[in-house]
Structure 1
């Protein structure tokens, strides 16, 4: 009897974990249309995707101040914006962390970090964490490439920036860059989804 009770309790616990989807499970998938947003930037402006009238797409990147993975990618994120902004695909960076759970990710610290690094792109605060769950962002950094179409902003790639967070010089596959190039050239994107490597979002 005790064994049966233990097995029942174990099965119930396993089911409760299985029934609780991760943000990866409930967020956007490649091919979905992503909703616009309106978030406060470190420059004191409110930024939306619709502000970019001439955009062909967007590199929406969830990142933060404190995660060592996110900090390791900052220069590469700046390089992506410098390369593709003039081609109509700007970077839009969003900090999804709850500052009460992640010391150092408050709005004032965001302003300081953006200034120190010379961010060339808007750095937005996901206040109340309303946007990151919709996207399914679970890590920092986490990339979502959107293509601007007549139907809306279609998700074309989700995942990591590249395959080596430790050393940019040793990158073999620059996933985000290859996806943007294919999108701009009207080619099929060969790798549309990868696993985002980074710190879990503090909710």
Structure 2
């Protein structure tokens, strides 16, 4: 009997530790110095409001294709959630990023993560990918939706809106059902 209870308790602890639905992870976002693309001034992330970090690249076709979705999310939730475009590394010139924003009418503030420190801490490895934070705690990371099941293939109809669902859950005080997905896209070269 004691052995049964021991294994039952062990199984419960294991499942709570490894299989919980929350992906909450505390990050030190406020310690990273970003560069504001429009002002060329340093910027430090404020973690007191919900925010979505969107890791983007101006030459990534998927990022170009997602600009309408990003703008729609900004219009829908922008009064309650801060959306930020993050461009990793020094290979993107500010002018290239501004041209990308102008061409695709991207309506979110944009920042450069020149040393990849924020990108690496968040765990972003491809563009486009999204990370949702509340009070500095990671709530969701991964794909914006399921439009791209694998590279080179695109769904005719999007059936899962991961980022939108996560934002709505946070704003309505509900648990996020899907806290992590695998984003598919252009690889972020961190070297």
Give the TM-score normalised by structure 2: 0.77
Provide the aligned C-alpha RMSD in A: 2.1
1:107 aligned residue: 94
Cα distance in 1 for residues equivalent to 2:60 and 2:155? 17
Quick one: distance in 1 between partners of 2:67 and 2:154?
12
Distance, in Å, in 2 between the alignment partners of 1:167 and 1:112 is 26
Q: Structure 1: any 5+ residue segments left out of the alignment?
A: 1-28, 100-104
- Aligned 1:1-203 pairs, distance under 5 A: 30-35=23-28, 36=30, 37-44=32-39, 45-50=41-46, 55=49, 57-86=50-79, 88-99=80-91, 105-148=92-135, 153-165=136-148, 170-203=157-190
Query: 2:102 and 2:94 mapped to 1: Cα distance?
Result: 12
Distance (Å, rounded) in 2 between the aligned partners of 1:167 and 1:46: 37
TM-score by length of 1: 0.73
Closer/same/farther in 2, CA of residues 171 and 112 from structure 1, 3 Å limit: same
State the alpha-carbon separation in 1 of the partners of residues 55 and 138 from structure 2.
Answer: 15
Number of paired residues?
162
C-alpha displacement at 1:34, in angstroms?
2.0
Q: Which runs of 5 or more structure 2 residues have no equivalent in the other structure?
A: 1-21
Deviations 1:86-145 (A, max 9, x none): 1x212111011441xxxxx32220122122222221111111222111111100011110
